[in-house]
Amino acid sequence: MSDVLALYDTEQRRDVRYADSVREVTPAVVRHTSRLGGRGFVIYWKLTEAEVEPVAREQIQHYRSLGQDFEWKVYDHDAPPDLGARLEQLGFEPEPREAIVYCDLSVPPAWLANPVSVQVERVTDPTVVEEVIALRRAVSDEEPSHLASSLKLQLHDDAAHFGLYVARAAGKVASVGWARFDANTSFASLWGGTTDPAWRHRGLYTALVAARASEALRRGYRFLTVDALPTSRPILEKLGFKVLTHACGYVWKQDRAATSLQH
């Protein structure tokens, strides 16, 4: 598993690129700035304890100058081990902890061969994104305004590396998820899994995982990864996904900038 984790750090953190963000490599970190005015993120770094505060303040200044909130995603195996606590002292807010789980597709899991009763649609019509956003808005307190622009941009500009999938019930989008099939990596990654509470426990989420896993297998990816919250982790573990590490996002919000930078 340590070999998989090292590969993940390199391919899915240090080298990854997204169509809706600008990747920048500085001497201290790899960061992404949103092209659409959404949230940026710091995803990879190598820092000593003494470097954390000055480098963190540099990132705050960078995103503050652009008017963007940003997330610094800290993994359990990252150094220094108290990085999350140090970021909190600078005004970052922790988000719910996630399990980074993976499935090795080199031996295709048996469930991929099982027929799925739920019909899954791969989205090509960008107008369906509005239905996706309506579902996300209905089940989450998060305002997904920038998400709509991001999904539409990836559908239009990066269809070769992006797939948006939905499952319908009673004529409406009842479950959704998307996948990244990035170049020059061993990993396909699953994102955005959301199901209408009225249609949970009916196999919709599992069917969406299977559809995206089948596409990853067809494209030759060895691993499938998910940043899993407690709601999805049990389902994924039943499908044979294993925990690779854990992570927590620490978010810097613009309304804290003026206060924290004075200290």
pLDDT, tens digit, 9 for 90 and up, residues 70-82:
999 999 999 999 9
CATH of domain 2-98+247-260: 3.40.630
Cα atoms found within 13 Å of the Cα of residue 206, Cβ hemisphere only? 19
Residue 1: what pLDDT? 77
Instruction: Count the helices and strands in the chain (H runs, E runs).
Output: 8, 12
* Residues of the chain under the 70 pLDDT cut: 143-144, 256-263
pTM assigned to the model: 0.92
Structure tokens at 257: 């900038």
Please enumerate in sequence order all residues whose Cβ is within 8 A of that of 155, keeping only pairs 6 or more positions apart, or say none. Answer: 123, 124, 126, 129, 162, 164
Contacts of 118-121 spanning 24+ positions with Cβ under 8 A: 118/167, 118/202, 118/203, 118/204, 118/206, 118/207, 119/167, 119/168, 120/165, 120/166, 120/167, 120/207, 120/208, 120/210, 120/211, 121/165, 121/166, 121/167, 121/168
Residue 115: what pLDDT? 76
Domain ranges of the chain: 2-98+247-260, 107-221
Q: What are phi and psi of 240, to 5 degrees?
A: 100, 5
Per-residue pLDDT tens for 101-147? 999 999 999 899 887 789 999 999 999 999 999 999 988 877 667 89
Residue 207: what pLDDT? 95
Residue whose token pair is 């169509």: 19
Residue 256: what pLDDT? 65
Single-letter amino acid, residue 219: R
Of 194, 181, 206, residue with least CA distance to 144? 194
Contact by Cβ (8 Å): 176, 170: no
Give burial (CB, 10 Å; 0-12/13-18/19+) of 95: middle
Intrachain domains 2-98+247-260 and 107-221 with the same fold: yes
Residue 144: what pLDDT? 67
Domain 107-221 in CATH: superfamily?
Gcn5-related N-acetyltransferase (GNAT) (3.40.630.30)
What kind and span of H or E run contains 226? strand 223-228
